[in-house]
Structure 1
């Protein structure tokens, strides 16, 4: 094949206008995206809050510490109790009746890749394994102009007829959402799904999503499939915690939010959209490094609903600190971008969406920044108390609150692992507090980049699977 924008003519174009590589929302009042981190009013508010905090610490550091302490526990318990409530919430309704092949809508699969030649053949194999009529599929593998290695790898493959390679014209920012917007401009499916390079979607996932859309009301605009981390087969701390975290988030929290009728931040992959709704809200914000979280709340702000399906997509976990830290910092930075964008948009005037934004992104961003410092102070005070002349004692109430928060999160994690068809491991659950401390290191990097390099995209490197995947 050649390095051209080759598109199969079998599918009819989806409704909606052309979407350029940068954000131009239509049909909503959200025209101020993440290309501007803070509005002038937000910049003044942040500067004033920082000044008042500095004055407070200088005048009365003890009272300032108490205030931070109470703030942390309020945020910590909000997150823990939300997950506990989610773990006690039944899954949403059973899957809709399947559609006959003749009734299946056309589907566009968008897979943006950058410097991932090693996994390209595996990705194509996984897409070809999807149980969906190929004549109703259009798969766009989206590559960057300067990624000649992956382009060469694509040239050497015998691609299925429904798979095409699309090269994004040079431009900035060079981000995944910009590549997705370029692909959406060429998408011909009524439904659109995003897959990452390392994804192995369940073969029946497209059919389940199509059936749910057909059986639901027209305001359902997006369905999120659960992302499941493959068992690495050995007990490494980061992969095991990453897997537990994904189980709690995608198997427990998001289904509960969907059942409660609340919006939620989408995952970076395996989100199935109605193309028309995606066009209406302007597709993805090319400057937001967590475009998935942002577009979910923009759909909700425009009056659309989000839902979940049950057939998963298998992914691999980062195994090394050098992989995990940049990825996590990018996520936290992007969630900060999304918070500030929607705080100056329509969401604050929509109580349900505002509550959802607080329960998800605001809570996680605040917790990731506060958890490490507050825990470090607590450990320091405990160490002083254990010294011969120490006279500081951690209140029993604090220990009870820590236990309640950690216990709630552990219940959600264990529930998620069970729903994913596995058995939770006690050692992994006990390791969760240590993992949360690492989140604060990532949050520090995220805050620094939010100020110095808000649109920088730290790429996560993926390698081919070396063994069988859990069923």
Structure 2
């Protein structure tokens, strides 16, 4: 199936798009800040270092306060779900795929299980023109009559959001949702979203379903440590942070899947930014800038973790690179954000980037402190205030993960908590990768490898991702 693609979609080259990594003004400001900090460290190190540490401590205190508030707000009982409308709207389902021939049968089976009137469904498997293996597999499958194959014409950038924009251009639904290849959505998720949209005014334009990690890898790709930490991280975000932000009426970064939209609003926004490698995070704040609202659903979508470090690192690199892109895009203008918007941007994307940069450094400094005391046989007087902030910050992060994991029915025990700082340190490795990639190849897309759920997973090997050119990549 092919369609016409309006220039209002997938052609965003304006100053508020990630196609431009930094504007000239932003570049000048960054250079001045870097030069000023470097000069200050060289000329006045005794004054600069304490001021820098104090600034970091203030940031940690704000983040601690936010996490405690989010935990308290998310504890509030949820209101009863709205009644399902008498007339359900037509619903478009979009799945952008690349190199996913093996997982297609499982995906189609799960889409077929969605509990929604078939005559009101309008689905699209969106495929890249050069991905002949997935195109052939999709054509060979027996699909529901409402599930179409949409081949994206060649062009740049070859990213997931560009593919989604092509589907948005031809979608016939009043509402639209996005799923990923490995997703297993709750069959009643669409009905819940339709009920919320019918019960609310038109300012509510997006609903995010919780994403839950249900399965861990086995065999050669087994990594219980990575899988359990990743699952707890997801639980903290989707079971605690996003519900709290929704109840406070704050914007938040969307997940890359299981977001449900009013199609009219999504088209008015111009669709997704095809140049942003975390188009979902960006879109949440673009919705806010237009004066619209986001909400959360209760019926989840189940996903699989990326697995070993070999697969986790490219995915997390892309996420952090996209967060940096989004921060650069949304700090170009003050219009439409307001205090609550800046607060939300800071405690989500800003905190994620800053924490990733500082985790390994902070843990290393603590290790050096105790090592020096051990070697000198005289423990120096610790910086009690700073140490207390770090301990309380780690405790609130672990508590958030533990509560979120309990709500998501995800295991996260004492051993996982003790191991968490090692996982956090890996985020710093991803941060360094992301920063370099943002400079040298900002629009290159690191694709996460997927495979179907089987009883003996070791019989279905996952191909190693190509970090330099993994799947979709800008030409």
TM-score with structure 2 setting the length: 0.90
Q: Which residue of 2 aligns with 1:151?
A: 135
Report what 2:234 is aligned to.
Answer: 246
1:155-199 deviation digits (Å, cap 9, x = unpaired): 210111010111111001110000000110010000010100100
How many residue pairs get aligned? The number is 450
Q: Which residue of the partner structure matches residue 12 of structure 1?
A: none
Whether the 8 Å contact between 1:19 and 1:181 is mirrored in structure 2 is no
Match of 2:79 in 1: 93
Deviations 1:213-264 (A, max 9, x none): 1011210000000000114288711110000000000010000000001000
SS class of match (1:117): coil
**What is residue 221 of structure 1 aligned with on the other side?**
205
Aligned pairs for 1:22-101 (under 5 A) are 22-23=11-12, 31-89=15-73, 90=76, 92-100=78-86
* Aligned twin of 1:5: 2
Query: What residue number does 1:11 align with?
Result: none
Which consecutive residues of structure 2, in runs of 5 or more, have no partner in the other structure? 457-475
Q: Structure 2 residue aligned with 1:320, among 305, 308, 329?
A: 308
Distance 2:52 2:102 in 1: 47
Q: Using the TM superposition, give the Cα deviation of residue 88 of structure 1 relative to its aligned residue in structure 2, in angstroms.
A: 1.4
In the alignment, what sits opposite 2:110? 126
Counterparts of 1:91 and 1:330, CA distance in 2: 35
In the alignment, is the contact (CA less than 8 A) between 2:9 and 2:270 conserved in 1?
Answer: no
Pairwise CA distance, 1:449 = 0.8
Is 1:195 matched up with 2:184? no
1:170 to 154, 159, 178: 154
Moved more, 57-66 or 412-421: 57-66
* SS of residue in 2 equivalent to 1:387: helix
Matching residue of 2:447: 459
The aligned residue for residue 440 of structure 1 is: 428
Structure 2 partner of 1:139: 123
Aligned residue among 253, 258, 262 for 1:270: 258
Report the TM-score when normalising by structure 1: 0.91
- Residue-by-residue CA offset, 1:132-154 (whole Å, 9 max, x unaligned): 01110011000101101111111
Name the CA distance, whole Å, in 2 between partners of 1:31 and 1:224. Answer: 27
Aligned partner of 2:463 in structure 1 is: none
- Shift of the 399–198 alpha-carbon distance from structure 1 to 2, 3 Å rule, reads same
Distance of aligned partners of 1:355 and 1:310 in 2 relative to their CA distance in 1, 3 Å threshold: same
Counterparts of 2:170 and 2:122, CA distance in 1: 10
Q: Is the 8 A contact 2:175 2:262 kept in 1?
A: yes
The residue aligned with 1:405 is: 393
SS in 1 for 2:277: coil
RMSD over aligned Cα, in angstroms? 2.1
Residue of 181, 185, 194 corresponding to 1:210: 194
Contact 1:368–1:436 (8 Å) recurs in 2: yes
Residues 353-384 of structure 1: CA deviation (Å, up to 9, x unaligned): 12211121112111211222232223212211
- Displacement after TM superposition at 1:423 (Å): 5.3
Give the whole-Å Cα distance in 2 for the aligned partners of 1:98 and 1:429: 41
The separation in 2 between residues aligned to 1:214 and 1:72, in whole angstroms, is 45
Segments of 5+ residues of structure 1 without an aligned counterpart are: 8-15, 25-29
1:274-423 superposed matches below 5 A: 274-347=262-335, 350-388=338-376, 392-422=380-410
Indicate if the aligned counterparts of 2:278 and 2:319 stay in contact, CA closer than 8 A: yes
Greater Cα shift, 122-131 or 233-242: 233-242
Q: Once the 2 structures are TM-superposed, how far is the Cα of residue 398 of structure 1 from its aligned partner? A: 2.6
Contact 2:10 2:270 in 1 (8 A): no
8 Å contact kept, 1:247–1:413 = yes
Whether contact under 8 Å (1:79, 1:364) holds in the other structure is no
Distance of 1:65 and 1:348 partners within structure 2: 35
Shift of 1:120: 0.9
